[in-house]
Structure 1
Amino acid sequence: MGQEIELKLVLSKDDIPQFRQHEVFSRYSSGSSTWSLSNRYFDTVDQALTQAGTALRIRCQGNKFIQTVKAGGSNIAGLHQRTEHEWLLEHDALDLSMIPSGLIPEHVNPAEIRQQFATDFERECWLLQLEDGTEVEVVLDQGEVKAGHQRDPICEVELELKRGQVSALFELARQLGGDIPLVPSDISKAERGYRLINNVTGACAKVPVVNADDTVEAAFAALLGFELESLQRQWEAFHFSQNWTHLYSFRSTLGNIRTHFLLFKDILPRPCLEIPLATLGWLEDKFNPMLNWWPACYALSRQANDPPRTASEALQQTKARHALEQLQALEQQPEFGSRLLSLSVWLHGQQWRDHYDDDMHQRARIAISESILEPLRHQCAALHLSECGGNASYWLERQPMVQGLNHLCRTLEGMLGCELTHMRNELNHIEDNLVELNAMDVVSRLGDWLQRLSFEEKQSVNSWARTQPVVMRNLNVLAQKLANGI
């Protein structure tokens, strides 16, 4: 039995030659070894093992067959920590009798366990001996996940800590990603397989359970870890599905993180926020120009270069191609992955503590249930929604904060119950209306597109757009209800 601690990064095939030539390998390693690996993953038809957080596989490496069970552990902002059990097999067949009681959940019937999918890839491995005695295994995997006729390519780097501190993994990832586009990834090979057989994108991270007696600091760390995991999953989901709504969710998650920083500002000294806030600003500056036209890009990224069927579709495709060009340029910047990684480094290093005094230490230890309601009420009031009136731009400026507050209320409602219900209900209605108002704003800037619509289509769009005053009237009513409730 061993504890597996690893950091996963995704890279482009075009960047592999440069990756192999990175100076860390010549400085800290005597060379690399390469071999082929085939893995078969097993579960019941209803996937009882993965639902219980357990992975079961057989790995074929040359003439060796290794049965592995991975269970428990954690996954926070891209850092995977799991318990791993291995047994050497004589043949390429499961031998469940070798697995101690308790590793396979009791409710799972061993007779129902069958192969679900497989992975085949080439692994190139370097063992790095760093100057401080830290030992890290770096592997480059290239191949594919196979489930029936479906395939998902593998091109990723794993940094596994063999000896030393976790901080060394992040520092090594930072060095590797300084000149090469490496993006932190939260998706394991096993999850890629389940994604194929279940026909899902895997964009949703598991919402953390925040208990009433958790400290403010523990709750903040859990919530931020969830948001960083969501960022990585949304980015990966877009690449898997080419569905632009995942990038829109990515931008919304950036807003959620900003909201967390505001709500937990009593335990976050201002100097400690300089790096994460600069990172959020950089990412927003990159994504906002692309996503201003996201309705035109939605579901078009796969067909952006196909011959258009109508004039309106031609305009949409032009917008989609332009956004895709911006996205490709972003992917080629090493700074993108480095920025995402810096947020994980900040969280795992608890860098806000570097500026703590006794008073902040004390506030950080207060129970979350005793301290979160007042900041939520304060931020709702600070939106000044009642001052927006009939000005659409004022309303839209507040959309990211409304989304962030609503998101946090949904997460914490199970802990605080009815105390948050009114606030969440009103924020939810406001957010729905802001989404519609935002769509109207986008359409109002598509003058050329509107002119190319058929008469019936144009009438339908104009009729919908004329309801904007109704939407803003609804928003003003909801804003008053929210104000009365807080």
Structure 2
Amino acid sequence: MAKETEIKLRISPASLATLHQHPVLAARCVAPWQTRELLNRYYDTADFALANAQVALRIRRDGEQLIQTLKSKGASVAGLSERNEWDWTLKSNRLVLSHLNDSCWPQSLAELDKKQLKAVFSTDFKRQFAELRWQRDGIETVVEVALDQGLVIAGQQQEDICEVELELRAGDPAALLELALELAADVALMPCDISKAERGYRLFNANSYSVAAAPAELSTEMPLDEAFAAIAWQLLGNSQRLAEQYRFNGHWKLLEQWLQQLVSLRALLASLGHAVPRPSSNPLRTQLDALIDDWRVRILDGADDQAVREAAPLAFANELENTRWGLFSLEMAVWLQNQAWQTKRSARGTRQGAAALQNWLLQFLKDEAQALQVHRYMRQPEDIAEQAPRLERLLVWLQAARHISGLVDSDRLFGSLRELHTLVLQPLNAENLVQRREHLASVLTLNAWKQLLR
């Protein structure tokens, strides 16, 4: 068994054709580029038992060599994935079922009749690849860079493959993110948390690809720094998966959810005071503000305008052809990987970052609730839009951590504030003013709100 650590980056065909000449790659390349044709057949049962168990099984033809490979799902975020992989050299183009024993085969598939396995789709592509070597913090880093172009074919359906893979052979996984970031400075690269196998299954069922990253696992006593990082990684992962799926099928709801992840990330960065000093996160907040400002207007307009919704997929494709989205995604990932918010912060910020999550969270929610000034905005509902950032800060923490807040009926509070936030963003008219005032009054009746104002 080997552990595969790599990052996948979607790229345009025009950029892929010239990427091997990029100075960042040329400076670290230690041997000439090589080219291979890789022909892959993926195997599963008729009801996709392997996919449901989150494993992939294939036979790859690489020249005269045949390799049977089993891959586990592993963990993936920001395009960076780590998973277990088992390889066996074959003598013929047939599965060797005896290789799929208890040392690698998932326990959940123990009762599966492996004779049911059959080829279900293919991924055939040309790969240009080279080895890179450089010193990072005094440690040699070795990375294989692969430029893949071809097709995923499932029955009568197909999807283009055009991506960059950076696979770590030696060194720190952070080096992959840093290398990707260097390339993304002048090449439009989109981190994509989707494997070639997942693309094949998606051609059978568009909903088979999950747009939700692994949830943040929070506990009452965990340090605030750890909770912040866990939530930020989840939101970043969600945003990248939603971007990939919206690019694929253009469903409007996915675009709305993508924007919400960015709004939540922006609110999260602004919520921790001294623990996340503004200078450390300012470049990220600036990039988020630009993305949110551009896309929030379009999404609000599209709520009642079919023409705007129909034009959005092309606008999003144009966004992905620009460096902005890829740069933000990778800069955010590097910032989180390096825990950059912890450098040069004050002693007070360090103490706050080490505080137990539940203790900090309850005080944070109380402070924000009091500052929302519900009674004032019941009298002046036309002005409550100025409180949208505060509502967003409340919502991001209630969504991720309300189960450990200690508040009674915290689900109702979260739902009510989310509805209020929606009203705040809608165009101002007589009906909306009445709705704002009535909703603010209903917030005051919630047990969780009363608990916060004690």
Q: Write the letter of the residue equivalent to 1:429.
A: S
Match runs of 1:251-290 below 5 Å: 251-290=259-298
What's the counterpart of residue 11 of structure 1? 11
**The one of 416, 423, 435 aligned to 1:429:** 416
> Is 2:332 aligned against 1:343?
yes
Distance in 2 (alpha carbons) for counterparts of 1:279 and 1:270: 14
Please say if residues 256 and 404 of structure 1, whose CA atoms lie closer than 8 Å, have aligned partners that are also in contact. yes
1:348, CA displacement in angstroms? 0.6
Distance in 1 (alpha carbons) for counterparts of 2:327 and 2:73: 29
What's the counterpart of residue 442 of structure 2? 478
Q: 1:235 to 1:349 in 2, by over 3 A?
A: same
What's the counterpart of residue 111 of structure 1? 113
Distance in 2 (alpha carbons) for counterparts of 1:27 and 1:227: 34
Q: Deviations over 1:113-170 (max 9, x none)?
A: 5344332222111212235532111111112222222222221111111122223222
Please say if residues 290 and 326 of structure 1, whose CA atoms lie closer than 8 Å, have aligned partners that are also in contact. no
Distance in 2 (alpha carbons) for counterparts of 1:240 and 1:404: 31
Q: 1:266 to 1:47 in 2, by over 3 A?
A: farther
Q: Write the letter of the residue equivalent to 2:329.
A: L
Identity %: 30
What's the counterpart of residue 355 of structure 2? 366
Please say if residues 148 and 164 of structure 2, whose CA atoms lie closer than 8 Å, have aligned partners that are also in contact. yes
1:52, CA displacement in angstroms? 4.0
1:357, CA displacement in angstroms? 5.0
For structure 1, which runs of at least 5 residues remain unmatched after alignment? 298-315, 445-464
Q: Deviations over 1:12-66 (max 9, x none)?
A: 1232233233123433223321212222333445544444443322222223221
What's the counterpart of residue 301 of structure 1? none
Distance in 2 (alpha carbons) for counterparts of 1:25 and 1:411: 40
1:261, CA displacement in angstroms? 2.4
Please say if residues 403 and 410 of structure 2, whose CA atoms lie closer than 8 Å, have aligned partners that are also in contact. no
What's the counterpart of residue 128 of structure 2? 124
Size of the aligned set, in residue pairs, is 442
Match runs of 1:45-84 below 5 Å: 45=46, 47-71=48-72, 73-84=74-85
Please say if residues 255 and 400 of structure 1, whose CA atoms lie closer than 8 Å, have aligned partners that are also in contact. no
1:193, CA displacement in angstroms? 2.3
What's the counterpart of residue 174 of structure 1? 181
**The one of 139, 144, 147 aligned to 2:154:** 147
Match runs of 1:169-318 below 5 Å: 169-200=176-207, 202-296=210-304, 316-317=306-307
Q: 1:426 to 1:211 in 2, by over 3 A?
A: closer
Displacement over 6 Å in runs of 4+: none
For structure 2, which runs of at least 5 residues remain unmatched after alignment? none
Q: 1:192 to 1:478 in 2, by over 3 A?
A: farther
Please say if residues 86 and 104 of structure 2, whose CA atoms lie closer than 8 Å, have aligned partners that are also in contact. no
Q: Write the letter of the residue equivalent to 2:183.
A: L
SS of structure 2 residue aligned to 1:355: coil
1:206, CA displacement in angstroms? 2.6
TM-score, structure 2 length as denominator?
0.86
SS of structure 1 residue aligned to 2:222: coil
Distance in 2 (alpha carbons) for counterparts of 1:421 and 1:42: 49
1:399, CA displacement in angstroms? 4.6
1:181, CA displacement in angstroms? 0.9
Q: Deviations over 1:192-233 (max 9, x none)?
A: 223222331632223222233432222211111001101111
Q: What's the Cα RMSD here?
A: 2.9
TM-score, structure 1 length as denominator?
0.81
> Is 2:388 aligned against 1:388?
no
1:398, CA displacement in angstroms? 4.1
Q: Write the letter of the residue equivalent to 2:32.
A: G
